[in-house]
Structure 1
Amino acid sequence: MHNTHSSNDTSPGLLAGKAAFITGAGRGIGAAAARLFAREGAEVLLAARTQAQLKEVTEEVRAAGGTAAYVVCDLADPDSVRAAVDRAVELYGRLDVAFNNGAAITPPGPLDQVSQADFDHLYAVNLRGPWLAMSAEIAAIRATAGTGAIVNNSSVGSWAGNPELPAYGAMKRALNSLTESAAVTYGPEGIRVNAIAPGGTVTEMIRTWETYSPGLVERLTPRIPLRRTADPEEIAQAAAWLLSDRASYVTGAVLKVDGGARA
């Protein structure tokens, strides 16, 4: 994807001066967000389960001149989530913004073929995890920066019936509701909470889905008005804008970033 950030650009970055926390930051959209947020001036703490991936992305960010650190975090473990958010405050003295991007996927299939173990795993990581993260992030923002912004990564699969990924779609739809409730609750304090709903994006998650549903991307692409899937950075750009002061009057939104697929 063409990078619109010129090396000769002396204007302050979109997230200049902000301390940012990102879950699922070892790969895909989360890794793209870590690189982008740092390029836009944020001090970034990357969180995910896989240390090797976190270390690699953190080193890339630092090599490009950004400020980054990482913490191993399992969204299914409440203590791990709280400790990761606390680490951002320990490192940077504050928390301004957070991107709750981390999520799990399970094999696609109809509702009656979803195992209880898979359903429980999706709940723990894709719904309870962001809820725990938001709770900790709001406390950290309140205690340090005072005001700030949170973006949750939802999915266009949350907007309508999702016969291939019914439990995944259900958790993401519930995340939309949590996002809206948090926006209403914390808006008076100056804490904005939004979500993005990506469409088909070239990540490990969609590649995993394709192994179960061969030809998935070829089937999806004609339904997208832009006639292509997204690059992870394009999704990260939407999150960066919502977290920035440029979106200062936007809260409670679930922004479709899907090339027009749900238009």
Structure 2
Amino acid sequence: MTLLDGKNAIVYGAAGRIGTAVATAFAGEGARVFLAGRTRARLEEVAARIREDGGRAETAVVDALDERAVDEHAAAVAAEGGIDVSVNLIPHGDVQGTPLVDMALADYERPVVTAVRTQFLTARAAARHMIARRSGAILFFGGAAEPLREFEVGGLQVAFHAVEAMRRQLAAELGPHGIRTVTLRTGGIPETLPEDFAGRAELTENIAGKTMLGRAATLADVGAVAAFVASDRAASMTAATVNISCGALVD
């Protein structure tokens, strides 16, 4: 039996590189994946590849900043057999490479507002349906971290810390209903860097150089760990951060 056999999983931001990796891993472990995002064509491409590999995938255009859209989509998925897993991998729209003293307020606060709003709406929508079933896993991505000396990341770290505070509170409130909340945390995934990014090689080397394994986490690593954490084999795991940084981050 596969890890997620018979489970329904919503993946927000499923057309992104991390979202695609997680959705593909979920489907490979037997889940029926509901791919949500804002660009139907890209979602359909991911769904087609999943189906070609024998998996089950459905798509829906959902703006995760839209409360009504998120709630209606969650209700539609719940009507298809319930929601077992929800993971939000929507980009935060952060601006990097600009010192904070030179950054516009809108650029600084955008990732914070986007992360908090979308994570709250998607987690709340899933939890409302999971409560009746007294089970479910809500996964987050990012995690709180120390300040970065080498890179200017704008409001991204603030967004991650805010989401971690939310995840901890959700763990406390949803735990009695059998619902788990877990954050997946990496030290950077070179595969997500744009091909035309001028500093790609340097940054890739920097990420790998900080690890204890001598390599950075891959998209396949993230997908594999996400599938395990979402499964019943991780049933005792909640209010936790899972470190998949290859030793770049030390607990």
Same fold (TM over 0.5): yes
Alignment counterpart, residue 164 of structure 2, candidates 172, 176, 192: 176
Letter in 2 for 1:196: L
Q: 1:58 maps to what in 2?
A: 47
Superposed displacement of residue 213, structure 1: 7.4
Q: 2:113 maps to what in 1?
A: 124
1:225 to 1:25, Cα distance in 2 relative to 1, 3 A: same
1:189 to 1:209, Cα distance in 2 relative to 1, 3 A: farther
Residue identity (%): 30
Which structure 1 segments of 5+ residues have no match? 1-11
Alignment counterpart, residue 244 of structure 1, candidates 231, 234, 238: 231
Aligned partners of 1:198, 1:150: CA distance in 2, in Å?
A: 18
Q: 2:88 maps to what in 1?
A: 100
Aligned partners of 1:73, 1:79: CA distance in 2, in Å?
A: 10
1:79 to 1:255, Cα distance in 2 relative to 1, 3 A: same
Once superposed, what is the RMSD of the aligned Cα atoms? 2.0
Q: Secondary structure at the match of 2:194?
A: helix
Q: Say if 1:196 and 1:255, in contact at 8 Å, map to a contact too.
A: yes
Letter in 2 for 1:124: V
Q: Secondary structure at the match of 2:74?
A: helix
Q: 1:151 maps to what in 2?
A: 139
1:209 to 1:77, Cα distance in 2 relative to 1, 3 A: farther
Q: Secondary structure at the match of 2:3?
A: coil
TM-score, normalised by the number of residues in structure 2? 0.90
Q: 2:71 maps to what in 1?
A: 82
1:19 to 1:37, Cα distance in 2 relative to 1, 3 A: same
Moved more, 253-262 or 113-122: 113-122
1:178-193 mapped onto 2 (5 Å cutoff):
178-193=166-181
Alignment counterpart, residue 216 of structure 2, candidates 212, 225, 229: 229
Q: Say if 1:29 and 1:203, in contact at 8 Å, map to a contact too.
A: no
1:37-52 mapped onto 2 (5 Å cutoff):
37-52=26-41
Letter in 2 for 1:125: T
Q: Secondary structure at the match of 1:254?
A: strand
Runs of 4+ in 1 over 3 A off after TM superposition: 208-214
Aligned partners of 2:172, 2:160: CA distance in 1, in Å?
A: 19
Q: Say if 1:162 and 1:169, in contact at 8 Å, map to a contact too.
A: no
Q: Does 1:161 pair with 2:147? A: yes
Q: Secondary structure at the match of 1:85?
A: helix
Superposed displacement of residue 93, structure 1: 2.4
Q: Say if 1:210 and 1:217, in contact at 8 Å, map to a contact too.
A: no
Aligned partners of 1:219, 1:60: CA distance in 2, in Å?
A: 32
Letter in 1 for 2:183: A
Moved more, 61-70 or 194-203: 194-203
Superposed displacement of residue 150, structure 1: 0.8
Letter in 2 for 1:17: G
Aligned partners of 1:180, 1:256: CA distance in 2, in Å?
A: 16
Which structure 2 segments of 5+ residues have no match? none
Letter in 2 for 1:149: A
Q: 1:197 maps to what in 2?
A: 185
**How many aligned residue pairs are there?**
247
Superposed displacement of residue 240, structure 1: 1.3
Q: Does 1:14 pair with 2:14? A: no
Superposed displacement of residue 25, structure 1: 0.6
Aligned partners of 2:68, 2:109: CA distance in 1, in Å?
A: 18
